[in-house]
């Protein structure tokens, strides 16, 4: 009896500590254990409490650094999205200057067309900037019925001025409306045209051709270039964020494009042959 009593007396506090240890969570706030007596168990409890506080501190630091790196990611993404429309805008303005200086007949008509494209790109920029500063996140998508033929034409007008590159718009005259976010579609086209032009930097007879086709409930917009192509070994990586083969690339373009296409209930695929060229197929859900 006495032996049982004594052993219970010794094990009870250990049990208590064991229970406390069991409740310790790495991802939640933990309570310190209080133990009045200055015995061996008291020493153990002190050690435990010390460890708990250190744990708390490193958990807080980890959370903070995770937040900071999330911010860095976001900043990179915003920087990419802001840089993205600048290329077609610059090309469009250069075209406009040339037209103004020329003796062309229908100046007004052409300038008007280019201005439309420019205004769309500027709206896009200001959307990104204000959404970022208002909510510290990328703009929320607004899905609606879109006349994609217009968006294609406006974007092509701006990119047409790239030197060494011809752009052929072979899309059907009558296209079905699709479901999407207008700003996102402009960004998607910008990204694909920019990649295509960059892939043709080393050739003089660069051609980008755009075709459309309806397959079941999708309108497929295909953009083909005759640039350097994507080596088979790299093909599975191109949608991975930060994968880039360019010294000044971010590797974010296609990752963002894929995300946006999936968000619109669509999809993106591609075919590519090294030194022959690449085709990206955009699947848009028809309205």
Ligand X SMILES: Nc1ncnc2c1ncn2[C@@H]1O[C@H](COP(=O)(O)OP(=O)(O)O)[C@@H](O)[C@H]1O
Residues at the site binding ligand X, with contacts judged by CB under 6 A: 191, 195-196, 199, 225, 227-230, 238, 243-246, 249-255, 278
Distant-in-sequence contacts of 38-46, Cβ < 8 A, 24+ apart: 41/13, 41/14, 41/17, 44/17, 45/17
Does 251 bind Mg ion (CB under 5 A)? Our answer is no
Which does residue 42 bind out of ligand X, Mg ion, none, counting CB within 5 to 8 angstroms by kind?
A: none
In order, the DSSP letters of 119-163 are HHHHHHHHHHHHHHHHHSSPPPP--EEE-HHHHHHHHHHHHTT-T
Residue closer to Mg ion (CB basis): 167 or 192: 192
Residue closer to ligand X (CB basis): 161 or 278: 278
Q: How many residues does the structure list for the chain?
A: 287
Residue closer to Mg ion (CB basis): 77 or 195: 195
Does 195 bind Mg ion (CB under 5 A)? Our answer is yes
Which does residue 225 bind out of ligand X, Mg ion, none, counting CB within 5 to 8 angstroms by kind?
A: ligand X
Residue closer to ligand X (CB basis): 88 or 253: 253
- Angstrom distances, CA of residue 16 to CA of 33, 231, 235: 9, 63, 58
Which does residue 161 bind out of ligand X, Mg ion, none, counting CB within 5 to 8 angstroms by kind?
A: none
Residue closer to ligand X (CB basis): 49 or 267: 267
Which does residue 196 bind out of Mg ion, ligand X, none, counting CB within 5 to 8 angstroms by kind?
A: ligand X
Burial of 221 (0-12, 13-18, 19+ CB in 10 A): buried
Choose, by CB under 5 A, the member of 88, 117, 149, 253 that binds Mg ion.
253
Region near Mg ion per CB under 5 A, out of 41-49, 121-129, 253-261, 268-276:
253-261
Q: What spatial distance separates the first Cα and last Cα of the chain, rounded to whole Å?
A: 84
- Within 10 angstroms of residue 16's Cβ, the number of other Cβ atoms is 14
Measured distance CA(166)–CA(208) in Å, rounded: 6
């Amino acid at each position: 009896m006495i032996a049982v009593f004594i052993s219970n007396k010794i094990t009870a506090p250990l049990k208590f500590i064991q229970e406390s240890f069991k409740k310790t969570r790495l991802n939640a706030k933990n309570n310190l254990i209080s133990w009045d007596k200055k015995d061996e168990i008291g020493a153990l409890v002190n050690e435990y409490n010390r460890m708990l506080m250190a744990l708390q501190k490193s958990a807080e630091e980890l959370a903070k650094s995770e937040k900071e790196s999330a911010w860095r990611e976001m900043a990179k993404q915003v920087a990419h999205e802001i840089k993205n429309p600048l290329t077609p805008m610059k090309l469009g303005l250069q075209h406009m200057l040339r037209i103004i200086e020329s003796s062309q007949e229908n100046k007004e008509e052409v300038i008007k067309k280019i201005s439309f494209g420019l205004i769309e790109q500027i709206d896009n920029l200001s959307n990104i900037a204000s959404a970022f500063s208002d909510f510290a996140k990328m703009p929320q998508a607004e899905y609606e019925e879109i006349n994609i033929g217009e968006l294609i034409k406006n974007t092509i007008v701006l990119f047409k001025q790239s030197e060494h590159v011809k752009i052929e718009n072979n899309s059907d005259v009558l296209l079905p409306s699709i479901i999407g976010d207008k700003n996102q579609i402009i960004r998607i086209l910008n990204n694909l045209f920019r990649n295509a032009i960059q892939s043709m930097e080393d050739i003089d007879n660069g051609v980008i051709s755009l075709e459309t086709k309806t397959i079941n409930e999708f309108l497929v917009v295909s953009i083909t270039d005759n640039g350097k192509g994507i080596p088979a070994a790299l093909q599975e990586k191109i949608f991975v964020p930060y994968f880039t083969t360019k010294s000044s690339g971010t590797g974010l373009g296609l990752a963002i494009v894929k995300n946006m296409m999936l968000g619109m209930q669509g999809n993106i695929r591609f075919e590519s042959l090294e030194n022959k060229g690449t085709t990206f197929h955009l699947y848009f859900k028809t309205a």
